[in-house]
Amino acid sequence: MLTLRILLLALFAFILSGCSPNKPPRIADFRSLGELRVATRLDAISYRMDEDGRPSGFEHDLLERLGAELGVPVRFVVYPDATRALDAVLNGEAHLAAAGLGLNDRFPLKWSAPLREVDYVLAGRIDAPEIEKESELAGRAITVRRGALSADTVEQIQKRVPNLTMHLQAKVDDQTLLAQLAEGKHDLIATDRVHFALAAQIYPALTVAYDLPLKSHIAWALPMEPNDPLANEVQIFLEEARESALLSRIADRYFGHVRRLDEADISTFFSRIQERLPALRPHFHDAQAKTGIDWRYLAALAYQESHWDPYAISPTGVRGLMMLTADTADRLGVSDRLDARQSILGGARYFSMLKEQLPDDIEDPDRQWLATAAYNLGMGHLNGARAIARGMGRDNASWWDMKAVLPLLSRPQYAARLKAGAARGGEAVIMTENIRNFYDILVRLEPAYEPPLTPPRLRLSQRP
């Protein structure tokens, strides 16, 4: 009932605002104003601030593309929660709201076409009692982010299950609630499956305790005005974005890989971070200073190759922390592949060379992911796969398209087109997706490295 009361109050405020003589004027349309003003909130998937202070996220990137189509810049205004972002549209402060909003027809708003489908879960801890059916929620406490669509579903369950309590949290995002859950500050958290998977990357103690009977779509909220020039533009843009696979590409960039690792994979990675990474960290820092590649990405690549074991040897003869072949090591001047420092610096240089060999029209992060696949396959096989992709009408500069083509390299009809013969392209895809996961985890756990601008001065007691 609490969520319903909030909705009724919002509607009442909307009606009153239309009758008030002191009602502030609505902002001008995006063409007259010269910008598209978007109400949003901080969210790990939709709109977030990266380490360098730049905004990014699934909806951020999509809206930037919309702004380019409309010929106006996009101005994002951050509100404390989804409810306030919706209020901004109702009150005429913003042209639309984009804040990871579940499509909800109870608000007097016009909704765009769906951006992506979402399903909802109750997240819990692995050490808590299991929940196999709804009745076993009796006596439990569920925390829900204010403005989340799942609040309605939890209220309905409350009516059927005795002694079930619900707590609404304002001015907080899903990742913060899930982090608090991992610390034991909550019993259960209602969230969507993608946010859960993102949190589970760094909190192995979390688990899906119960699947909520709710599926919805993320959409943008616009004012319910008959002559709003933006609504038609948004509809056309999203139709074209779906047909061109732009929606799929941007979604894959931010969360298409997060469900690849299981609980055992993550737990092992955490133990290796504590046991093995400290001794190797200075070498990864030096590798970044020499190549410009984020040390955490190089560390993720090395972990996928060897689990940070300097003495690793594969059945095919590749060796060391970065799993270099003998020929590659010779070309890079690596005299001992089992020396951790030599292997890291050599592998980082090799990866940097692969990135440089790719055509200039391939931009990051796709450039980085394609180079990662080439690290596994070799540039010859990657170029062959790009030629196959071009013949199929796919975008061979896009990782989204290429990861569908690479597994074809093992099939005889496609391998026959390759100078180097068949290749295990599917393994290269899995490897790259795993590295993306390991890198995401390291970015959230390990600080960035800023190489010194000048070499440190030697002490008198030191010799060059």
Please identify every residue annotated as catalytic. Answer: 305
Residues contacting residue 71 through CB under 8 Å, at least 6 positions apart: none
CA dihedral 61, 62, 68, 70 (to 10 degrees): -150
Pull the structure tokens for residue 409. 């390299």
| d(C-alpha 178, C-alpha 164), whole Å | 20
CB 72 within 8 A of CB 64: no
The first and second tokens of residue 458, run together, are 């030697």
Q: In sequence order, what are the beta bridge partners of 38?
A: 76, 96
Contact between 412 and 418 (Cβ < 8 Å): no
Q: Which residues contact 66 (CB under 8 A, 6 or more apart)?
A: 36, 74, 233, 234, 237
Phi and psi torsions of 262, nearest 5°? -100, 180
User: For residues 385 and 425, what is the distance between their CA atoms, to the nearest angstrom?
Assistant: 9
Q: How far is CA 418 from CA 303, 379, 381, 387, 404, in A?
A: 30, 12, 7, 9, 17
How many whole angstroms separate alpha carbon 142 and alpha carbon 124?
A: 10
Q: How many CA atoms lie within 13 A of 184 on its CB side?
A: 2
For residues 346 and 333, is the Cβ–Cβ distance under 8 A?
yes
CA–CA dist 382, 375 (Å, integer): 9
State how far Cα 226 lies from the chain centre.
36
Query: How do strand 141-145 and strand 188-192 relate by DSSP bridges?
Result: parallel
Alpha-carbon Rg for the chain, nearest whole angstrom, is 25
Neighbours of 449 (CB within 10 A): 16
Q: Name every residue whose Cβ is closer than 8 Å to that of residue 153 and which is 6 or more positions away in sequence.
A: 120, 190, 212, 213, 214
Alpha-carbon gap, residue 403 to 373, rounded angstroms: 9
Q: How many residues does the chain have?
A: 464
